[in-house]
Amino acid sequence: MEHAAEAIELSKLAGGIPAAVFPLGLPVLLIRLGAEVFALENRCAHLGCPLAGGRLDGYLLQCPCHDWRFDIRDGRFIDAPELAVKTYAAEIKDGKVFVRIPL
Amino acid sequence: MKKVTIYALSTCLWCRKTKKYFEEKKVPFKAVDYDKQDEDSQEKMMEEMRAAGCSGSFPFIRIGSDCTQGYDPDEFEKLLNKQ
Amino acid sequence: MNAQARKEALRFLFTPIVDRLGYKFTPAEEDADFLLEQVAGLEAQTGIPYCPCRARTRDRAENMRIVCPCIPFHRAHYDAMRRCWCGLFVHKDVTDPDKLRQIPESKVENR
């Protein structure tokens, strides 16, 4: 079961700038790249630092705390594929971004 | 007797074990804690370690004209006895 | 937060990470406690839980490669030793860490 939770209006989501949202109270980071929106847990797999404020380079997001880098497409940690941040499916409907949260 | 110098970190377990090894062997040594030095001295120590082909891992031990890295009693023994 | 509480928090945070990497806390309890205390101390002092047995320099990118647990950045080296450089973590199948040797990185690469 999952729930498509409304997260933000698409017009408020600037391209290439990670935005912290809280669908169903969960810390989620949205990143808009072109026509796509990626959603991942806004918490580093290392020590839990918020990834918002991290540096984005293409599909790679670097945590601001200790520079751990994640691929925003699948959440994978670049230096050890066994580690990852959670990702969520994001969809755009009626000018709004919805995040699919497993229940 | 060969001159022994130990580059260490005050927070490093293996540096402590290394110092203890030489103490128990009654081999006099000079120990320098990298983290207690100023930045310029640290850079010099790091340059010396890198020139010897070692990374910035401690302990770094000079025994006579040889050097080694890490706590390894067999290696210490070998270098102390090397002619 | 007091030092003991932070040590426990770091143990809690590190355990699932190193587990996925095939490592565990060293079963040498006294060593684990000492090393974790040093990591927590370095974090209290610098804001970052650095490896207690590796040197920090002026280079941030280099320093970030020695933030605990630093296994991902030194995989081949640590896998060859079956533990990380400071010894806080060992391969899951290690029962007697005292039998392991510290091997310099340069000697692992030359093998």
Grade residue B54 by pLDDT with cuts at 50, 70 and 90: confident
Domain chopping of chain A, boundaries:
2-102
Cα distance between residue C88 and residue C104, in whole Å: 17
| Model confidence, pTM | 0.92
Taking an 8 Å cut-off on Cβ atoms, the answer to whether A67 and C49 are in contact is no
How much is the ipTM here? Answer: 0.91
- Extract the runs of DSSP E, i.e. beta strands, from B1-83: 4-8, 30-33, 60-63, 66-69
Taking an 8 Å cut-off on Cβ atoms, the answer to whether C17 and A83 are in contact is yes
More confident residue, B56 or A66: A66
Which of A56-70, C20-34, C95-109 is predicted with the least confidence, judged by mean pLDDT?
Answer: C95-109
**DSSP class of residue A76?**
B
Which fold, A2-102?
Rieske Iron-sulfur Protein (2.102.10)
More confident residue, B13 or A103: B13
Q: How many CB pairs under 8 A join A and C?
A: 27
Q: Nearest Cβ partner of C104 from B39, B46, B70?
A: B70
Give the tens place of pLDDT for each residue, A26-78.
Answer: 999 999 999 999 999 999 999 999 999 999 999 999 999 999 999 999 999 99
Per-residue pLDDT averaged across C53-75, rounded?
95
The residue type found at B10 is: S
Grade residue C109 by pLDDT with cuts at 50, 70 and 90: low
Mean pLDDT, chain C, as a whole number? 94
Q: Spell out the CATH class of B4-81.
A: alpha beta
Q: Spell out the CATH class of C3-109.
A: alpha beta
